[in-house]
């Protein structure tokens, strides 16, 4: 099952990329394995999938402890409580879901103690949905200017999940424009855009995504 799903995704990625003039190396395919058994991650890695995304801290921590071969990158993409930061910092290649000054400061503090520089993304709540984490777009510039002084984190870009049931492309376009605007106004480099999932990764790639988070299309429904 995983072999077929991965092959299909990779073929579709190649088609989309060739049509929009990007390179395959521009895109990181993250297999979202939340609630799935470790054996599926092992199978996917052996089939060449190098990036795995987890949503829940305890599951992330256990899987990272049980299986962490060279060349495999774990990403943390879910809500991260400040009291559980230590379980993720230094283990995640990239934390996609930073959405508050308190969380950013805690990641910086733990990173300092662990002597690492943790790469993070800022999660944006584009639809203003109460059920989703993320910063309001209007507060992003002030937020970024406040956390740029933190020396033990590296802000790599933005992440977003478009509102369910709405066309995703306008939100992807908006996030890309927002990233470009922040780069210009703050004079910083934000190379990453984490956007696109199983149902809309094609549009996300066309609109500039660098990290697509694909679960169901690889590992099956939950």
pLDDT (tens digit, 9 = 90+) per residue, 183-205? 999 999 999 999 999 999 999 99
**pLDDT on residue 132:** 74
Query: First CA to last CA across the chain, in angstroms?
Result: 14
Q: How far is CA 210 from the centre of its chain?
A: 9
With cut-offs at 50, 70 and 90, classify the pLDDT of residue 56: very high
Distance CA 186, CA 142 (A): 10
**Among 1-10, 107-116, 202-211, the least confident range:** 1-10
- Residue 129, pLDDT above cutoff 70: no
**Burial of 1: CB neighbours in 10 Å, binned 0-12, 13-18, 19+:** exposed
- Residue 142, pLDDT above cutoff 80: yes
In which residue are the tokens 């799903």 written?
5
Q: What is the DSSP string of 129-151?
A: -TTS--B-GGGHHHHHHHHTT-T
Average pLDDT across the chain, whole number: 95
- Residue 108, pLDDT above cutoff 90: yes
Distance CA 106, CA 30 (A): 25
Q: What is the CATH number of domain 2-219?
A: 3.20.20.10
- Residue 131, pLDDT above cutoff 70: no
**pLDDT on residue 127:** 76
Length of the chain: 222
**pLDDT on residue 112:** 98
Mean pLDDT of 130-145: 87
Distance CA 184, CA 162 (A): 24
**pLDDT on residue 165:** 87
Distance CA 62, CA 177 (A): 37
């Amino acid at each position: 099952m995983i072999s077929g799903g991965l092959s299909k995704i990779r073929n579709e990625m190649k088609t989309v990329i060739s049509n929009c003039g990007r390179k395959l190396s521009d895109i990181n395919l993250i297999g979202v394995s939340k609630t799935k058994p470790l054996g599926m991650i092992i199978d996917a890695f052996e089939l060449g999938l190098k990036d795995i995304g987890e949503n829940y801290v305890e599951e992330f921590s256990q899987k990272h402890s049980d299986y962490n071969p060279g060349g495999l990158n774990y990403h943390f993409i879910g809500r991260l409580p400040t009291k559980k930061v230590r379980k993720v910092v230094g283990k995640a290649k990239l934390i996609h879901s930073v959405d508050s000054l308190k969380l950013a400061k805690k990641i910086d503090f733990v990173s300092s103690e662990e002597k690492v520089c943790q790469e993070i993304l800022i999660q944006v709540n584009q639809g203003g949905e109460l059920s989703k984490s993320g910063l309001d777009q209007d507060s992003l510039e002030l937020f970024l200017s406040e956390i740029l002084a933190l020396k033990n984190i590296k802000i790599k870009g933005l992440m977003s999940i478009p509102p369910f049931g709405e066309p995703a492309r306008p939100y992807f376009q908006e996030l890309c424009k927002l990233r470009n605007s922040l780069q210009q106004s703050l004079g910083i480099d934000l190379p990453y855009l984490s956007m696109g999932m199983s149902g809309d990764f094609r549009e996300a790639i066309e609109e500039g995504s660098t990290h697509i988070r694909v679960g169901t299309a690889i590992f099956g429904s939950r």
